[in-house]
Structure 1
Amino acid sequence: MKTILIIACALSTGILFAQSPIGAWEWIETREDGQKVKGVVTFTENYQAAAWFDAETGAFIETNGGLWKLEGNTMTEVPEFHTKDTSLVGKAVSFDIEFDGNDKMRIVGSVNWASRVDAGQPGDLAGAWLMSGRKRNGEIQERDTNRPRKTMKILSGTRFQWIAYNAETKQFMGTGGGTYTTVDGKYTENIEFFSRDDSRVGMSLEFNYELKDETWHHSGKSSKGDPMYEIWSRRD
């Protein structure tokens, strides 16, 4: 009887089963100047990336991301890139979060609730990936994924974001993201923001993809129309 009462109490306070942020979340916020901004954050098992862009035009505003962990309701993040404040790169930042059911989440005290987009399904490529090679002139050129200069791509079940950065120098080179699908060996990106060129917003790009021994082979044409063949290795 005592055990039943303890379990019932735990259920009523919401502490028995921890909810997971893994997947993608999005929200709309209104800034002081009246600008409508869309925020998106994607969590994989160990890494996360967040981006903000104009909700109407897709113009890029800011991004940050890196390692994360959740203990109780306290989330701790260690950014590897941070366009708004590079001094935070490499430093642990903790804050409390709360859930409303399984489909709403926010930082405690924030006016904005993020809505769950997915929980890591249905796409075949959910997870964090590092570019580990390219094929040029028929030959694979490998890239050391342990170096500070990285190109990372984070995908939930339906959303993607890539980021190029240097975790040691805190330099940010670029990012882009949106939604994606994986159907019959075709990986299609629908671009919602692109820091290097806003004119790419709204484009849909189709690529061939294949998973080989935990690597993702990605080929087709870039947003500029140039042929490409990239190899990505899982980071999680």
Structure 2
Amino acid sequence: MKTFVAIFTILSSLAGWSQSLIGAWQWTETDDNGREIKAVVTFTDGFQSVAWFDAETGAFIETNGGSWALDGNTMTEVPEFHTRDTSMIGKSASFEIEFDGNDKLRKVGQETWATRVDAGEPGDLAGAWLMSGRKRNGEIQERDTSRPRKTMKILSGTRFQWIAYNTETKQFMGTGGGTYSTVNGKYTENIEFFSRDDSRVGASLEFTYELKDGKWHHSGKSSKGDPLYEIWSVRN
């Protein structure tokens, strides 16, 4: 995993280079067993996440992410979740980056370049969101997004990742992600990895979505087939 950690350093350090890095980036590596590993990092305004998974089976490997900021060519990030090393949660780390100004980026001194997937388009829902409510028995139950227990969803123009975690206990509850589309009021997720259930990889889930007063109302059925109605608020 040292190679993957080094490459994450490349990408997490690149997250802060102005709006030009907003969107999704990816790369692949081969591990010591000959397995091809895919990694995708998504940058939004102030928040980022990265996930590694088996490129063939979608088996989840690890994820981490949090806030980022840039000063010159030095990016500083503060992880909020980190499945490989929880001791890194809440601690800032800075990295020097290199960017070709278009669709390639890397850590200074590294040979491997990450390739841009999208620049935050065309997704209506691109950005970082926190679950802020659910509808149960016909009633909206609001959730305090400032509490340590969070469910965050980060979307680029074409890719999504959700993460459930606790910043206080450093507990990780689960994650999943892949590609998505928003067409005619329908939000469709195509699952490429899911830490809780690999059997869901390859499935497509369609939901109805609507933006009301800046909040994302999301309804349909969960990956288990249960009905759901969620409300997501933009993360500031």
TM-score of the two chains, using structure 2 as the length reference:
0.91
Question: Which stretch of the first structure deviates more once superposed, 114-123 or 102-111?
Answer: 102-111
1:23–1:118 CA contact under 8 A, matched in 2: yes
Structure 2 CA distance for aligned equivalents of residues 38 and 104 of structure 1: 16
What secondary structure does 2:20 align onto? coil
The offset of 1:18, in angstroms, is 6.2
1:234 corresponds in structure 2 to 234
The offset of 1:33, in angstroms, is 2.6
2:91 corresponds in structure 1 to 91
Query: For residue 46 of structure 1, what is the amino acid of its counterpart?
Result: G
Q: Report matched runs for 1:18-33 at 5 Å.
A: 20-33=20-33
Q: Which runs of 4 or more aligned residues in structure 1 lie more than 6 Å from their structure 2 counterparts after TM superposition?
A: none
1:53 corresponds in structure 2 to 53
The offset of 1:209, in angstroms, is 0.1
The structure with the larger Rg is 1
1:19–1:102 CA contact under 8 A, matched in 2: no
2:18–2:70 CA contact under 8 A, matched in 1: no
Aligned residues: 220
Query: Root-mean-square deviation (CA), in Å?
Result: 1.2
Structure 1 CA distance for aligned equivalents of residues 65 and 37 of structure 2: 18
2:211 corresponds in structure 1 to 211
1:182 corresponds in structure 2 to 182
Question: Residue 119 in 1 paired to residue 141 in 2?
Answer: no
Structure 1 CA distance for aligned equivalents of residues 180 and 107 of structure 2: 27
Question: Which stretch of the first structure deviates more once superposed, 210-219 or 33-42?
Answer: 33-42
Task: Name the CA shift for 1:19/1:148 in 2 (closer, same or farther; >3 Å).
Answer: closer
The offset of 1:106, in angstroms, is 1.3
Question: Which stretch of the first structure deviates more once superposed, 24-33 or 217-226?
Answer: 24-33
Query: For residue 184 of structure 2, what is the amino acid of its counterpart?
Result: D
Q: Which runs of 5+ in 1 are unaligned?
A: 1-16
Alpha-carbon displacement from aligned partner over 1:77-100 (angstroms, at most 9, x marks no partner): 100000010000000011111112
Q: Report matched runs for 1:84-163 at 5 Å.
A: 84-163=84-163
1:8 corresponds in structure 2 to none
1:78 corresponds in structure 2 to 78
Query: For residue 109 of structure 2, what is the amino acid of its counterpart?
Result: G
The offset of 1:19, in angstroms, is 6.9
Structure 1 CA distance for aligned equivalents of residues 32 and 232 of structure 2: 40
Task: Name the CA shift for 1:206/1:18 in 2 (closer, same or farther; >3 Å).
Answer: closer
- Identity of aligned pairs, percent? 80
Q: Which runs of 5+ in 2 are unaligned?
A: 1-16
1:79–1:91 CA contact under 8 A, matched in 2: yes
Structure 2 CA distance for aligned equivalents of residues 63 and 18 of structure 1: 23
Structure 1 CA distance for aligned equivalents of residues 109 and 57 of structure 2: 29
What secondary structure does 2:199 align onto? helix
Query: For residue 219 of structure 1, what is the amino acid of its counterpart?
Result: S
Alpha-carbon displacement from aligned partner over 1:50-73 (angstroms, at most 9, x marks no partner): 000001110000000000012221
1:29–1:112 CA contact under 8 A, matched in 2: no
TM-score of the two chains, using structure 1 as the length reference:
0.91
